[in-house]
């Protein structure tokens, strides 16, 4: 009896230690914590990217950002204003509940709530109809060729679970009602949250019942927010974590030179660009009175020619930027190679300025954030000095993003002459850029929300409307090309570059870096 017991204990110990030997814990640190576990509460890349490991949408994007089936196996446009989604059968939520059409309709209703920051995902949808348990129709007001483009981060929640726990709406800030879903999760995704200490650490374990075949070999994931750049890099160098991002540009060398660590760099989708006030009749902070030099296309071209983008790339971005010619990442628009930047040419710039009536240039002010984009303030400093060399003398005002964005917004009085911004189209589609950055602003700001140049061209507006409803890809691309051609020729904005992503990791970690800076653990392998 006793022998049998000992044998059993030994066997158990062997199994247990075997388990330990195979355990692959992956530790990583990011700048901040995920702001909430509620998938509909906060429209922020990092939070949604993190939750993408726990929750899933109807569609999914692979490591190259191409669409692939998610909780829907296929979808089709049955009528111009009716999209049909066929749901994957046999999918279970983490608590064991089945996923079906009712959950999709519930998630749609929940996202429509005014406290759901993700309302944009379902805007323009008039109704969602259950065809059968595993087929759902989305009815739209107008034809919408890109209805599902942002649905990889529109996550499905369990109706029964949400109702049972009082989580049918996201947290209501004004009424002070907190949602259960902000601290608890029940997704269908590859990982389940095992432990959550806000701002300290979040522990995830693989979902054993995941419908997809895991490509990872992890048994546990520990996420820690590490706010300070230096501390985050130190944590990687000292081996306390296996991966961190972002790695500041100036630390990349250090991480690469260190034994056992390296930095994975790749272009991000965000386009950094300059906007110029061309709507006011008199330029602010300028010695030019009674008119606005930026209204003259030659002045805008002169600015463009004055900027030495290669110097910015080399000196400030340390090689980690891709100069861009249009307002969208080349990765996201097939016809992008037809566009080229205006060359760096100082004498040409001076010539253009003289032609426009400013042989001696003029003075104004440049506005810039200093904690938003990679080396944003340094880029602005460089641009100020480059412009000064052709006669445009501007004083630089660089300030934290919270102040900067408030001041340059229409509500803050559009307080700028020209400045720097970055934009990533949430849908990864050109229409978003045309609509938000290049179309004429409407008084209610439904359109042209970030068209701080105040650029206005009737044909571009018309094209934006057409592109919004054109479902034929070839025709649509041609329309997009035309819109970018017009706005580029008229220098509506000056695109600068796509900044690079920098993920630091230990050499025994294999992962896939997505250009949208979302991190999926189901591609991670620990060797």
Partner 1 sequence: MAAFILRRLAQSILVMLVVSLVAFYMFQFLGDPINQMVGIDTPQAEREALRERLGLNDPMIIRFGKFVMNAAQLDFGLSYQHKQPVVDLLMERMPATIELSLVSAIIAFCLALPAGVYTGLYRHRWSSKALLTLSLIGISIPTFLIGILFIYLFAVILGWLPSFGRGDVLTLPGGWTTGLFTVSGLKAIILPATTLGLFTLTLIMRLIRAEMLEVLRTDYIKFARARGLTNRAVNFGHALKNTLVPVITVTGLLLGNLIAFAIITESVFQWPGMGRLFLQAIQEVDLPVMSAYLVMISFLFVVINLIVDILYYVVDPRLRVEGHGGGH
Q: Are 525 and 509 in contact (CB under 8 A)?
A: yes
Q: Is 412 in the site for partner 1 (CB under 8 A)?
A: yes
Please, which residue, 69 or 120, has the CB nearer to partner 1?
Answer: 120
User: Residue from 432, 453, 499, 518 that binds partner 1 (CB under 8 A)?
Assistant: 432
Cα–Cα distance measured from residue 14 to residue 423, given in angstroms and rounded to the nearest whole number: 54
Contacts of 435 (CB under 8 A, 6+ apart): 447, 448, 464, 468
User: Residue from 436, 493, 499, 513 that binds partner 1 (CB under 8 A)?
Assistant: 436
- Which residues on adjacent β-strands are paired with residue 160? none
Candidates 7-15, 74-82, 345-353, 419-427; binding stretch for partner 1 (CB under 8 A): 419-427
User: Residue from 28, 30, 36, 39 that binds partner 1 (CB under 8 A)?
Assistant: 36
Opening angle at CA 188, ends 186 and 193, nearest 5: 50
Q: Is 185 in the site for partner 1 (CB under 8 A)?
A: no
Q: Is 226 in the site for partner 1 (CB under 8 A)?
A: yes
**How many residues make contact with partner 1 (CB under 8 A)?**
64
User: Residue from 449, 469, 478, 526 that binds partner 1 (CB under 8 A)?
Assistant: 449
Candidates 103-111, 281-289, 328-336, 423-431; binding stretch for partner 1 (CB under 8 A): 423-431
Cα–Cα distance measured from residue 454 to residue 440, given in angstroms and rounded to the nearest whole number: 7
**Helix ranges, 113-215 (H):** 159-164
Q: Are 117 and 47 in contact (CB under 8 A)?
A: no
Q: Is 371 in the site for partner 1 (CB under 8 A)?
A: yes
Contacts of 170 (CB under 8 A, 6+ apart): 38, 40, 41, 110, 113, 115, 116, 117, 179, 181, 182
Q: Are 292 and 277 in contact (CB under 8 A)?
A: yes
Candidates 85-93, 134-142, 418-426, 518-526; binding stretch for partner 1 (CB under 8 A): 418-426
Please, which residue, 231 or 385, has the CB nearer to partner 1?
Answer: 231
Here's the x/- map for partner 1, 2-31, by CB under 8 A: it reads as ---------------------------x--
Q: Is 78 in the site for partner 1 (CB under 8 A)?
A: no
Q: Is 200 in the site for partner 1 (CB under 8 A)?
A: yes
Q: Is 203 in the site for partner 1 (CB under 8 A)?
A: no
Q: Is 193 in the site for partner 1 (CB under 8 A)?
A: no
Q: Is 118 in the site for partner 1 (CB under 8 A)?
A: yes
Contacts of 172 (CB under 8 A, 6+ apart): 115, 179
Cα–Cα distance measured from residue 58 to residue 70, given in angstroms and rounded to the nearest whole number: 5
Looking up tokens 């998938």, which residue turns up?
Answer: 39
- Which residues on adjacent β-strands are paired with residue 501? 266
Here's the x/- map for partner 1, 141-180, by CB under 8 A: it reads as -----------------------------xx-xx-x-xx-
Minimal distance, residue 233 CB to partner 1, in Å: 9
Please, which residue, 53 or 424, has the CB nearer to partner 1?
Answer: 424
User: Residue from 14, 68, 406, 507 that binds partner 1 (CB under 8 A)?
Assistant: 406
Cα–Cα distance measured from residue 411 to residue 245, given in angstroms and rounded to the nearest whole number: 34
DSSP per-residue letters across 201-230: EEEEEE-TT-SSPP----SEEEEEE--SHH
Minimal distance, residue 426 CB to partner 1, in Å: 6
Please, which residue, 207 or 499, has the CB nearer to partner 1?
Answer: 499
Contacts of 21 (CB under 8 A, 6+ apart): none
User: Residue from 91, 167, 235, 384 that binds partner 1 (CB under 8 A)?
Assistant: 235
Three-state SS letters, 458-510: HHHHHHHHHHHHCCCHHHHHHHHHHHHHHHHHCCCEEEEEEEEEEEEEECCEE
Minimal distance, residue 446 CB to partner 1, in Å: 5
Minimal distance, residue 244 CB to partner 1, in Å: 10
User: Residue from 18, 19, 166, 227 that binds partner 1 (CB under 8 A)?
Assistant: 227
Candidates 289-297, 327-335, 444-452, 510-518; binding stretch for partner 1 (CB under 8 A): 444-452
User: Residue from 65, 409, 466, 526 that binds partner 1 (CB under 8 A)?
Assistant: 409
Nearest CA among 22, 501, 32 for reference residue 270: 501
Please, which residue, 134 or 435, has the CB nearer to partner 1?
Answer: 435
At 437, list the tokens.
Answer: 């950055």
Cα–Cα distance measured from residue 245 to residue 519, given in angstroms and rounded to the nearest whole number: 10
At 414, list the tokens.
Answer: 């559009």
Minimal distance, residue 116 CB to partner 1, in Å: 11
User: Residue from 43, 135, 219, 262 that binds partner 1 (CB under 8 A)?
Assistant: 43
Q: What H or E segment, with its residue span, contains residue 67?
A: strand 67-69
Centre a 10 Å sphere on the Cβ of residue 139 and count the other Cβ atoms it contains: 13
Read off φ and ψ for residue 371, nearest 5 degrees: -145, 30
Q: Is 410 in the site for partner 1 (CB under 8 A)?
A: yes
Please, which residue, 29 or 361, has the CB nearer to partner 1?
Answer: 29
Q: Is 413 in the site for partner 1 (CB under 8 A)?
A: no
Q: Is 225 in the site for partner 1 (CB under 8 A)?
A: yes
Binding to partner 1, residues 291-320 (CB under 8 A): none
Q: Is 325 in the site for partner 1 (CB under 8 A)?
A: no
Contacts of 120 (CB under 8 A, 6+ apart): 43, 150, 426
Q: Is 472 in the site for partner 1 (CB under 8 A)?
A: no
Contact footprint for partner 1 (CB under 8 A): 29, 32, 35-36, 38, 41-44, 114, 117-120, 170-171, 173-174, 176, 178-179, 182-183, 197-201, 224-228, 230-232, 234-235, 237-240, 371, 400-406, 409-412, 423-424, 426, 432, 436, 444-446, 449-450
């Amino acid at each position: 009896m006793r022998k049998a017991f000992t044998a059993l204990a030994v066997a158990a110990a062997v199994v247990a230690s075997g388990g330990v030997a195979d355990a692959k814990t992956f530790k990583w640190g990011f700048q901040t914590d995920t702001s909430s576990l509620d998938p509909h509460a906060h429209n922020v890349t990092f939070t949604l990217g993190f939750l993408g490991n726990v929750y899933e949408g109807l569609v999914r994007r692979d490591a190259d950002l191409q669409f692939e089936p998610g909780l829907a196996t296929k979808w089709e446009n049955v009528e111009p204003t009716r999209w049909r989604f066929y749901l994957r059968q046999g999918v279970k939520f983490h608590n064991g509940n089945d996923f079906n059409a009712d959950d999709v309709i519930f998630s749609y209703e929940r996202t429509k709530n005014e406290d759901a920051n993700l309302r944009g995902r379902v805007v323009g949808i008039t109704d969602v109809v259950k065809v059968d348990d595993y087929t759902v129709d989305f009815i739209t007001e107008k034809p919408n060729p890109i209805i599902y483009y942002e649905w990889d981060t529109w996550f499905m929640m369990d109706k029964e679970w949400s109702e049972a726990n009082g989580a049918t709406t996201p947290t209501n800030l004004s009424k002070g009602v907190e949602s259960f879903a902000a601290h608890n999760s029940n997704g269908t995704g590859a990982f389940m949250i095992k432990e959550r200490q806000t701002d300290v650490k979040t522990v995830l374990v693989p979902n054993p019942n995941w419908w997809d075949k895991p490509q990872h070999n992890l048994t546990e994931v520990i996420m820690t927010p590490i706010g300070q750049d230096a501390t985050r890099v130190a944590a990687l160098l000292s081996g306390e974590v296996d991966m961190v991002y972002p790695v500041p540009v100036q630390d990349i060398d250090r991480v690469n030179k260190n034994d056992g660590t390296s930095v994975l760099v790749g272009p991000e989708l965000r386009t950094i660009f300059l906007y110029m006030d061309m709507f006011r009749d008199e330029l602010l902070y300028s010695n030019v009175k009674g008119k606005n030099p930026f209204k003259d296309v030659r002045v805008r071209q002169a600015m463009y020619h004055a900027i030495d983008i290669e110097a910015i790339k080399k000196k400030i971005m340390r090689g980690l930027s891709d100069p861009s010619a249009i307002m969208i990442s080349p990765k996201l628009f097939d016809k992008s190679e037809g566009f080229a930047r205006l060359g760096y040419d100082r004498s040409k710039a001076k010539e253009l300025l003289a032609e426009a009536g400013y042989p001696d240039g003029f003075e104004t002010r440049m506005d810039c954030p200093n904690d938003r984009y990679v080396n944003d303030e340094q880029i602005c400093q460089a641009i100020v000095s480059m412009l000064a060399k052709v006669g445009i003398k501007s004083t630089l005002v660089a300030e934290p993003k919270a102040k900067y964005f408030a001041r340059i917004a229409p509500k803050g009085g559009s307080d700028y002459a020209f400045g720097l911004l970055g934009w990533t189209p949430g849908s990864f589609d050109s229409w978003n850029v045309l609509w938000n950055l290049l179309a004429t602003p409407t008084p209610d700001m439904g359109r042209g929300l970030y068209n701080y140049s105040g650029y206005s061209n009737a044909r571009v507006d018309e094209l934006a409307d057409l592109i919004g409803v054109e479902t034929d890809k070839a025709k649509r691309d041609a329309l997009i090309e035309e819109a970018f051609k017009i706005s580029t020729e008229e220098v509506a904005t000056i695109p600068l570059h796509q900044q690079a992503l920098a993920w630091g990791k230990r050499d025994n970690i294999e992962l896939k870096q997505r250009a949208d800076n979302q991190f999926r653990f189901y591609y991670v392998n620990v060797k």
